[in-house]
Amino acid sequence: MTYQLAIQNAESAPEGSRETLRQVGQTYGFVPNLLGGLANSPAALHAYLALAEQFAKTTLSAAEQQVVSLSVSAENRCGYCVAAHSVLARKALTPAQIAALRDGSSLGDSRLDALAAFTRAVVAQRAWLQNGELAAFEQAGFSRSQALDVLVGVTQKTLSNYSNHLIDTPVDTAFEAARWTPAVRRSA
């Protein structure tokens, strides 16, 4: 079932979203469909952007942030965000690592594998972690405070993933080459 909401632009969006969409368009040369969809609710648009700003300020490296973003998006089966982050991650991860995150296999780096496993566990288990999952995260060199940094990324991506599911957001041309479809569709 599709719940398509309009993909807004700086002229059609509610007043509280217009200036933000103008700024995004000027900065990136286009307004990603995710942001155009979120613009239907100025609160949703600004919450997502505020979370993105805070996630960028965490102690996780750019590569680690992309591991979190791709792990959450794949676990939540969000084709739009997996495609977008597959393109964005090219600055921080190798093509093989991106492919591994898309299919849930090993990245060939024990620290990043631990981060991906921890992130997927947080999403799948709603952070009710099983014995040893936090310990494995720490044994890979992450601190307990970084577990909270991961939660910031999980929160940001969950907002975008669920919004994309609701909106049925079309993949932007900029991300089309990285289109992704989950192997198994979850029933509602």
CA quadruple 79, 119, 106, 54: dihedral positive or negative?
positive
User: What pLDDT does 183 receive?
Assistant: 78
Cβ pair 86, 180 in contact under 8 A: yes
Q: pLDDT, tens digit, for every residue of 163-176?
A: 999 999 999 999 99
Mean pLDDT computed over 25-33: 97
pTM score, whole prediction: 0.94
Q: pLDDT, tens digit, for every residue of 53-106?
A: 999 999 999 999 999 999 999 999 999 999 999 999 999 999 999 999 999 999
Q: Give yes or no for residue 188 having a pLDDT over 70.
A: no
CA distance 37 to 91: 26
Q: Give yes or no for residue 185 having a pLDDT over 90.
A: no
